Structure 1
Amino acid sequence: MANTKPHAVCFPLPIQGHINGMLHFSKALHFMGFHITFVNSEFNHRRVLRNAGLASLAGLPDFRFATIPDGLSSPKDDTDKSQDLAALCVSTKRHCASPLRDLIKALNDPCSGGPPVSCVISDFFTSFTLAVTAELSIPSIFFCSASATGFLSAVYLEELKQRSIIPLKVGVSLWKEDSSCIEWLDEKDRGSVLYVNYGSIAVLTNDQFIEFAWGLANSGCEFLWVIRPDLVEGENALLPPEFATEIKPRSFITNWCTQKEVLSHPAIGGFLTHCGWNSTMESMCAGVPMICWPFFADQQTNCRFLCSEWGIGIEIGEDVKREKVERLIEELMGGQKGKEMKRKALEWKARAVKAASIGGVSWINLDRVIKEVIMK
């Protein structure tokens, strides 16, 4: 019966946040009976294999990974750095159409071992796939995470209550994940640790980096801080020696971690975040309130709703000063407002759990998407 399954080719914009969103949706379709071919760029495929090993992309007989080139020159070293977003978008648009067309043709070959392609689900930012699918007479569907809808319309509270929230455990990480931070969290009191992560693209100036560092140090709070190798613009992220001495007993600093596992850990009491949509939803699903420092794109919109509409976020502001960082951490982790934010965050978690349960609105909406959009 494997060759009678509907076959979806899923192709995200090849950056961490978009890969995660598309992968979660692909896993949900797989659960609902689809054969999946998930398309990574060759550059990202190599990164994942280097950091997580061959088994990480082994897939299943009916969930396979494929690769196409992104058109950019590969870096000379193996340092984990994000590709330039603007250059990647331009290159993807110019160079990925032909390889994607060839891949779909190969998948439709009877010798491929899988069912013919039923549809191509592409990222909102890879609209060139429309021409490819039109040429091959295959339906093309845009996948828009809620972050993308921030460009199109406001995301209202009532809409979010109905939005599909499907917390799946499988992910593709472009950075090598450090699981030892979980052992460190296991030794901490409930709700005592602030988690700090600016996502996979946001870049800080050295001054911003130092202000955040001293705000964390001066707050007296225990914290887990993810510092990517490319976090600081144009240079390595070097902490002052006196800072390291100050925070050593109460901090854990790493290059990358399993964020969902961290956010769901009982020791986590707050999240200092760039407000990317994946991070926003993962924090809400874990019942963790946020300190918001939006960087670009939809993140300002997400921040506004977190802080002004949903009551589970407080904003630092564009001009980062250590005194404000310190004050907001203290307010979130120990103040009265922080307690109220935690209460509201747990309400959102309960809604997410209910929505993701069998028969909940998440599964009802997914079934509607399959019947009314994908298989129409």
Structure 2
Amino acid sequence: MPAPAAKPHLVFFPFPSQGHITPAFQLARLLHHCHGFDVTFVHTEHNRRRLLRARGPDALAGAPGFRFVAVPDGLPPSDEDASRDVEALLLSLPTMVPHFKELVLSELPAASCRRLLVSDVDPILRAAEEIGLPCVTFWITSASSFMAMQQIRHLVAKGLVPLKDAEQLRNGYLDSTVIDWAPGLPKGMRLRDFPTFIRTTDPDDAVLALTLRSTECYRTVPSAVVFHTFEELESQVISAMSDILPPIYAIGPLPLLLREAGGASAGSSLSKENRACLDWLDGKRPNSVVFASFGSLVKLTGEQLAELAWGLASSGYEFLWVIRSDQKATGAAGGTALLPPEFLEETEGRGCVTSWCPQEAVLRHGAVGAFLTHCGWNSMLESVCAGVPMLCWPFAADQQTNSRMACTEWRVGVELSEDPGREEVEAAIRQVMGGGRAEEMRRSAAEWKDKAALAAGPGGSSWVNLERVVNEVLAPLMDKKRVC
């Protein structure tokens, strides 16, 4: 009697930081739950230990056909509960390649020849190509930021990058230099709105070189590029990218697709979540609370923390503020210990400070009226899905591009300067919570919430595109049986 055919097997290898792991895990669970793919999900050993401490052993229990493995990240030991430095991780990625190849060639189930890689890691995608493993890029941030990244090689060719001198970072040059030739992007895009990898004066800058190599990889190596967005949100740039990329598919927002499919996951947070803040929100009036959170990586100086604190205090609104234990750039620990005692006295009874929270649930809570965010893409999509207007304070990487789109194109955000003082923070909060633009922004946010829900529902653009990914990309590629 012939042996049963091996099930299609997906290897997920996301860039090893929280913002990449979360949507990759959501997509992996969706494809496993709804389409029957076996999955091997790759963490780094550092992140595996963090996940176990944050969520307990059940976080890695998996399910039939879904397993977790870990590879070393090549970095020296560090604070076990802190995120790795992104630049250090970027430079260390090549050290993970031999471990990835060993995983594919030696450790995956021997009976399975129908394997495919899903990743956003340049060296891992290139390694897959070397060993004949079909691969797909899953781009976990906005399509607009992807297009902005693709323009960096043109900025270099035109002599705009690297910058001529460090003074151009401070003298308004980034704001006054308009890039109006990028396909699919707004005509008023400033150099400031492009990913921060361009902000260097060094022609041999290692991260800039990695960025250029990665953008070339995404154009040439994978058989398709899957975006965590939805067509209605970024229609112009998605249309423009069809000329420079392999087939592209927009399949977000994934949390909505997961809920629609009844496949809620066990969670992938590398930090322990404090759900008590939801109880605190339960006693608040609708749209009365400002929620402030800066993701898993952003660090603030002591001065920035103080200015933000007093801006929140002076606004007069209630607030929920997430301050990680490693939030301060100088390394001080302890959420409330980072804040001036006078601020804590001033805001007693109308503020809640926590170290981490279930952000998606917080944004869906009716008490939250605005989101002060670093503009990481997961945060922005969650805010769009919840219909919550944003105060946009981007720090690095793709966040500048995301902020630009939210504030000028989708009209759901107010832009803060790169180093806002307390008066600016206070004024922006008042503007979004109850000022002249509040009604307009809430209306726009509600419209985008409805469009996101339609896209993720049965028959919606993202639902249809996910089916196309399975039928047009994943199944045909794995039928080639190139890796055995």
TM-score by length of 1: 0.92
Offset at residue 158 of structure 1 (A): 4.9
Which of 121, 129, 140 lines up with 2:118 in the alignment?
121
- Counterpart CA distance in 1 for 2:298 and 2:354 is 16
Equivalent pairs: percent with the same residue?
Answer: 45
Residue 55 in structure 1 maps to residue 58 in structure 2: yes
Q: Distance in 2 between matches of 1:328 and 1:215?
A: 9
How many residues were matched structurally? 368
How far the C-alpha of 1:373 sits from its partner, in A, is: 2.4
Aligned equivalents of 1:84 and 1:36: distance in 2?
Answer: 28
Say if 1:285 and 1:155 are closer, same or farther in 2 by CA, change over 3 A: farther
Residues of 2 paired with 1:214 and 1:260: CA distance?
26
Q: Judge conservation of contact 2:289–2:317 (CA < 8 Å) in 1.
A: yes
Task: Please name the residue that 2:17 is paired with.
Answer: 15
Which residues of 2 match residues 139-218 of structure 1 at below 5 A? Answer: 139-147=134-142, 149=146, 150-152=148-150, 154=184, 158=232, 160=234, 163-165=250-252, 166-167=254-255, 168=258, 169-170=264-265, 171-218=267-314
The secondary structure found in structure 2 opposite 1:248 is coil
Q: Hey, what does 1:110 align to over in structure 2?
A: 110
**Cα deviation code 1:247-273 (max 9, x no counterpart):** 120111011011111111111111000
Q: Deviations over 1:68-89 (max 9, x none)?
A: 11111222x53x2221111111
The offset of 1:136, in angstroms, is: 3.1
Q: Which residue of 2 aligns with 1:329?
A: 429
Residue equivalent to 1:132: 127
Partner residue, 2:374: 274
Structure 1 SS opposite 2:349: helix
Deviations 1:182-212 (A, max 9, x none): 1111111111111100111111111111100
RMSD of equivalent CA atoms: 2.0
- The secondary structure found in structure 2 opposite 1:336 is coil
Higher Rg of the two aligned structures: 2
> How far is the alpha carbon of 1:142 from its aligned partner?
1.6
**1:273–1:294 CA contact under 8 A, matched in 2:** yes
Q: Are 1:68 and 2:71 counterparts?
A: yes
Query: Contact conserved, 2:41 with 2:67, CA < 8 A, in 1?
Result: yes
Q: CA deviation at 1:367?
A: 1.4
Following the alignment from structure 1 to structure 2, what is the Cα–Cα distance between the partners of residues 56 and 186? 28
> How far off its partner does 1:246 sit?
0.9
Structure 1 residues 45-78: Cα deviation after superposition (integer angstroms, max 9, x where no partner) = 0001011100112111122111111111222x53
2:141–2:398: 8 Å Cα contact kept in structure 1?
no
Comparing 291-300 with 159-168, greater Cα deviation is found at 159-168
- Gaps of at least 5 residues in structure 2 are 151-182, 187-230, 239-249, 259-263, 477-484
| Counterpart check, 1:364 vs 2:464 | yes
CA separation of 1:320 and 1:270: change in aligned 2, threshold 3 A: same
Which stretches of structure 1, 4 residues or longer, exceed 6 Å deviation after superposition?
none
Bigger shift: residues 261-270 or 229-238: 229-238
Query: Are the aligned partners of 1:274 and 1:295 in contact in 2 as well (CA < 8 Å)?
Result: yes
Contact in 1 for aligned 2:42/2:69 (Cα 8 Å): yes
Q: Distance in 1 between matches of 2:126 and 2:305?
A: 43
Contact 1:275–1:292 (Cα < 8 Å) also in 2: yes
Find out whether 1:45 has 2:48 as its counterpart. yes
CA 1:102 to 1:311, structure 2 compared with 1: closer, same or farther past 3 Å?
same
With 16-25 and 219-228 compared, the bigger mean Cα shift is at 16-25
| SS of equivalent residue, structure 2 residue 325 | coil
Name the SS of the counterpart of 1:305 in structure 2: helix
Pairing 1:308-347 to 2, within 5 Å after superposition: 308-347=408-447
Specify which of 381, 393, 403 is matched with residue 293 of structure 1.
393
Q: 1:117-173, CA deviations, whole angstroms, 9 ceiling, x for partnerless residues?
A: 5201111xx211234323432212221123351412656785626842221443311
Task: After superposing the two structures, state which structure 1 stretch, 132-141 or 298-307, moved more.
Answer: 132-141
Query: What's the CA shift for 1:90?
Result: 1.1
Instruction: Describe the SS at the equivalent of 2:343.
Output: helix
Counterpart AA for 1:91: S
- Shift of residue 3, structure 1, vs aligned partner: 6.0
Quote the Cα distance in structure 2 between the aligned partners of 1:365 and 1:3.
27
Measure how far apart 1:25 and its partner are: 1.8
Q: Distance in 2 between matches of 1:293 and 1:366?
A: 32
Aligned positions of 1:251-262 closer than 5 A:
251-262=351-362
- TM-score, with normalisation over the residues of structure 2? 0.72
> 1:96 Cα deviation (Å)?
0.6
Q: Which residue number in structure 1 is paired with residue 474 of structure 2? A: 374
Indicate the SS of the match to 1:195: strand
Distance (Å, rounded) in 2 between the aligned partners of 1:3 and 1:250: 60
